């Protein structure tokens, strides 16, 4: 991640929820608003607006150097590649990330096969569930696992693992602080790298 003085760094925020305008999208919006206030460029990727099929393990990404599936993932690849940091939010579905987010994760095999294109990007996670202890930490771990497999630099909320919220998100004051602290840590680290 080589930058020059004056370059604006970009943070991509992914909401893995299939539901529009719900907690995960609100949390990404809150976090990216903070990043914009700190003069970062932001890119919102909402899976509620995308159609991404599951990976079929055909390995066209290795042999043909492209994904054989033609869907909305095609326009997401360059957005992830051009980001300096990626913040991922997911609601907890049966103790883990949503199927929609897992499909995106699996399909990023192309970026790994093309030369570890997400390596050394900063990564952070936010999760939201219906109760305080509703599987958020396990879901954060699944997001972090994806980031580690890509060689990303994973950060938390300066205290624990990242944004841990219970629904409705806007009423969880403690949880919202972990979201603020997670995006703050991402911005701090990007600023350190930029120097």
pLDDT of residue 64: 81
* CA 46/CA 88 separation, integer angstroms: 10
Domain segments of the chain as ranges: 10-56+72-194
pLDDT of residue 56: 95
The alpha helices in the chain, defined as continuous H runs, are 23-37, 60-63, 73-82, 99-107, 109-113, 136-149, 173-194
pLDDT of residue 21: 93
pLDDT of residue 6: 57
pLDDT of residue 4: 46
| Furthest-apart CA atoms within the chain: distance in Å | 49
pLDDT of residue 140: 97
Q: Which residues of 34-43 are buried (b: 16+ CB within 10 A; e: fewer)?
A: bbeebebbbb
pLDDT of residue 99: 97
Minimal CA–CA distance to 89: which of 50, 54, 46, 122? 46
pLDDT of residue 19: 96
Minimal CA–CA distance to 40: which of 11, 64, 13, 5? 11
Q: What is the pLDDT along the chain (195 residues), one digit of tens a residue?
A: 445 445 789 999 999 999 999 999 999 999 999 999 999 999 999 999 999 999 999 999 988 889 999 999 999 999 999 999 999 999 999 999 999 999 999 999 999 999 999 999 999 999 999 988 899 999 999 999 999 999 999 999 988 999 999 999 999 999 999 999 999 999 999 999 877
Instruction: Let me know if domain 10-56+72-194 sits in CATH 3.50.50.60.
Output: no
The upper half-sphere exposure of residue 156, i.e. CA atoms within 13 Å in the direction of its Cβ, equals 8
């Amino acid at each position: 991640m080589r930058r020059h003085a004056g370059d604006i760094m970009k943070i991509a925020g992914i909401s893995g929820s299939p539901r529009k305008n719900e907690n995960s999208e609100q949390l990404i919006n809150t976090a990216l608003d903070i990043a914009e206030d700190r003069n970062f460029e932001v890119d919102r990727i909402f899976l509620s607006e995308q159609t991404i099929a599951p990976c079929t393990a055909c390995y066209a990404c290795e042999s043909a150097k492209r994904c054989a599936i033609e869907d909305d993932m095609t326009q997401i690849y360059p957005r992830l590649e051009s980001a300096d940091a990626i913040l991922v939010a997911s609601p907890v579905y049966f103790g883990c990330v949503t199927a929609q987010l897992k499909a995106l994760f699996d399909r990023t095999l192309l970026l790994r096969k093309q030369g570890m294109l997400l390596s050394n990007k900063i990564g952070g996670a936010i999760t939201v569930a219906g109760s305080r202890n509703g599987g958020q930490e396990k879901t954060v771990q699944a997001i972090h696992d994806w980031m580690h497999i890509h060689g990303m630099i994973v950060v938390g909320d300066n205290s624990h693992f990242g944004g841990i919220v219970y629904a409705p998100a806007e009423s969880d004051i403690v949880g919202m602080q972990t979201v603020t602290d997670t995006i703050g840590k991402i911005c701090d680290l990007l600023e350190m790298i930029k120097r």
